[in-house]
Amino acid sequence: MLSAREITVKLLQNWSNSRQFADELLAEQNAIPARDRAFVQELFYGCLRHHLALDFMLRQLASKPPRPIVADILHLGLYQLFFLEKIPAHAAVNESVALAKQFASPAEAKFVNAILRRADRRSLDAAPAWIRHSHPEWLWRRWLTRYGEADATALCRWNNEPPPLYIRTLTEELPAGVPAEPSGLHPLSWHVTDAAGLFELPAKFYAQDPSTLIAVDILDPQPGEDILDMCAAPGGKTTYIAQKMRDTGKIIAADSSNVRLGKVSENCNRLGVNIVATLACEGTRLDRCLRGTLFDRVLLDAPCSNTGVMRRRVDLRWRLQAEEITRLATVQSQLLTAASEFVKPGGVLVYSTCSLEPEENERVVERFQESHPKFTLDTTRSIFPPRDKMDGAFVARFRRNQI
């Protein structure tokens, strides 16, 4: 059976050689012993979060780049030495050397030993800010221009911390036996204090950050209404809408993926939600399926760059490209226009993202206002993680005029 560190090295290799996201790769590892899974996740995600800083430290220490497998072993060792306080230095070094002996040559094992024994985190002091904070230069400069150095630094530091686990409960009371405490961020949101065995408990709850509840609160669905939830999978907002409606009325949960809609149905069944019907259809083509049906309220939780949830999507920063933000903004505008066609006169339309970028948020809203005079902007809300202590998000609420 492989050790936690052996599994982590293999995961780092797989990540470098594929386009899969880290959470997908980790989810595929069914053979990880339960006792090791949390440690593997911490090592794997930590190395990816701090990838740029670790790589800079390695380049300062090595006269020439090592082979990729050796670089991964050194990244893992450096991460344990300088970013994981609970690991003794001798253990980080010795275990890394043992990995090198297993995956590389004897000479490379000696190289790993020499590098780690003379490593010094102070070498990062000379690095540019984006390297110290381990974010792409283009993203750091974008946030620096928008937020200023203090807030940009706070955001990067936020992204580099492991996220807490929150659950939404079906009432403001915590179910018996669930190890959690009030989050202080939302009446239905609880901070889990011990995740071991959490999802084997019979209690009904849904794991989600409190920021994801805000769009539904602003939508303000009422019992007995007809609601359209676009881009609904995996169902966190859908089931919260049903909860606020007291499971009376009707919700159409639409998404382009049948597989992802299966998650919506699964979550509805688990939470006892009965008013949701799923619809597999791409958002800009919904008119072909709904054929003029109008709804009291429509929620569009649009696909986005996810820059507000980089704390949870640890390797997104290395996969995302600057031009993707512009492309997504075009898609978001198309989806918002499509969503507007299903709102009754006097009805509500809510647009939300988990992006921090104005092109995907304020600019989309501005273009929609200019081209859709039948809709009035009621309110907007932007969530900035270091300030609001939750994932980043943006929400805009429109109301369709009666005439």
- Half-sphere exposure of 191 toward its Cβ, with a 13 Å CA cutoff? 10
Q: Tell me, what's the pLDDT at 402?
A: 87
CB atoms within 10 A of CB 57: 26
pTM: 0.94
Res. 281 pLDDT band, cuts 50 70 90: very high
DSSP notation for 302-319: -----GGGTTTSTTHHHH
Alpha carbon of residue 155 to chain centroid: 14
Catalytic option among 47, 268, 281, 354: 354
Q: Are 233 and 256 in contact (CB under 8 A)?
A: no
| Statement: residue 18 has pLDDT above 80 | yes
pLDDT, tens digit, for every residue of 20-63?
999 999 999 888 888 899 999 999 999 999 999 999 999 999 99
Task: Please give the average per-residue pLDDT across 138-155, as a whole number.
Answer: 98
DSSP 8-class letter at 125: G
| Statement: residue 403 has pLDDT above 80 | no
Q: Which element (helix H / strand E) includes 324?
A: helix 322-340
- 354 labelled catalytic: yes
What tokens does 219 get? 């939508």
Alpha carbon of residue 269 to chain centroid: 24
- Picking from 103, 118, 8, 105, the residue whose alpha carbon sits closest to that of residue 57 is 118
| Statement: residue 225 has pLDDT above 80 | yes
DSSP 8-class letter at 133: T
pLDDT, tens digit, for every residue of 255-276?
999 999 999 999 999 999 999 9
What tokens does 108 get? 């490379």
Task: Please give the average per-residue pLDDT across 316-328, as a whole number.
Answer: 97
Query: Residue ranges of the domains in the chain?
Result: 4-127, 166-205, 210-400
What is the C-alpha separation between 50 and 374, in angstroms, rounded?
48
pLDDT, tens digit, for every residue of 92-132?
999 999 999 999 999 999 999 999 999 988 889 889 999 99
Instruction: Spell out the alpha helix ranges (H) of 84-173.
Output: 89-103, 106-118, 129-132, 137-147, 149-159
Task: Please give the average per-residue pLDDT across 359-379, as a whole number.
Answer: 98
Q: Is 395 exposed, middle or buried (0-12, 13-18, 19+ CB in 10 A)?
A: buried
* The CATH classification of domain 4-127, taken from the options 3.30.1330.100, 1.10.940.10, 1.10.10.10, 3.30.530.20: 1.10.940.10
What tokens does 279 get? 């619809």
Name the percent of the chain lying above pLDDT 70.
100
Q: Tell me, what's the pLDDT at 160?
A: 97
Res. 179 pLDDT band, cuts 50 70 90: very high
Alpha carbon of residue 160 to chain centroid: 13
Q: Is residue 234 reached through a cis peptide bond, with omega within 30 degrees of 0 on the bond before it?
A: yes
Alpha carbon of residue 266 to chain centroid: 21
Fold classification of 210-400 (topology level): Rossmann fold (3.40.50)
